[in-house]
Amino acid sequence: MLFKPDFAFYRITDIEISFLKKNGIKGLILDVDNTLTTHDNPIPAEGVREWIENMKQNGIKLIIVSNNHPPRVKPFADLLGVDFVCEGKKPLSKGFKQASEKMNLPFDEIGAVGDQIYTDILGANFSGIKSLYVSPIEHEKTAFFKFKRKMEIPFIPKKLYRKTERKL
Ligand SMILES: [Mg+2]
């Protein structure tokens, strides 16, 4: 099912090394807006820097693939010390292909993380990349986005994995 994420998390920081190892994921493609921070925010969301550092230390390759333009993507990627592809044209495979080449990893060893069903998840599924859905950090207020989010509802898993759930 092309619109269904393979895995679903509450936040990107809920994705753990043990999960990636278990699923043979050696590299992650990261979306920016509403995945690593709120829309157009130059500052990463809480815990994101630490999460990125932990990934790097554990040998997980990271690359940002965003449909947004260079002035938005480059400074943000530089701040996190992560390579990037902008104007990635998700859900088309162009950006994912470039990312796979840059990481030197085949599609089946890559996971793509993002908050939008019709770009991030559809694109990953279409390319044979594992799709990791995260709940958008903030809900956009424009009518267009509200409509898009409504159209996503049937495909969003009911249960989103949260690290803290383990303690319950
Ligand atoms: Mg996004």
Residue ranges per structural domain of the chain: 7-103+114-161
What is the whole-number distance in angstroms between the Cα of residue 146 and the centre of ligand 1?
A: 14
**Which amino acid is present at 21?**
K
Give the C-alpha separation, 74 to 82, whole Å.
9
Predicted confidence at residue 140, as pLDDT, reads 83
Predicted confidence at residue 168, as pLDDT, reads 44
- Roughly what angle, to the nearest 10 degrees, separates helices 70-80 and 48-57? 60
Predicted confidence at residue 78, as pLDDT, reads 98
Predicted confidence at residue 165, as pLDDT, reads 58
Predicted confidence at residue 164, as pLDDT, reads 74
Predicted confidence at residue 70, as pLDDT, reads 97
158: Cα separation from own chain's centroid: 18
* Assigned superfamily of 7-103+114-161: HAD superfamily/HAD-like (3.40.50.1000)
The candidate with the shortest Cα–Cα distance to 63, out of 102, 25, 37, is 102
Give the C-alpha separation, 45 to 47, whole Å.
6
The residue ranges of the chain whose pLDDT is under 50 are: 167-168
Predicted confidence at residue 141, as pLDDT, reads 85
What is the whole-number distance in angstroms between the Cα of residue 156 and the centre of ligand 1?
A: 15
0.75 cut: is pTM over it?
yes
What is the whole-number distance in angstroms between the Cα of residue 119 and the centre of ligand 1?
A: 8
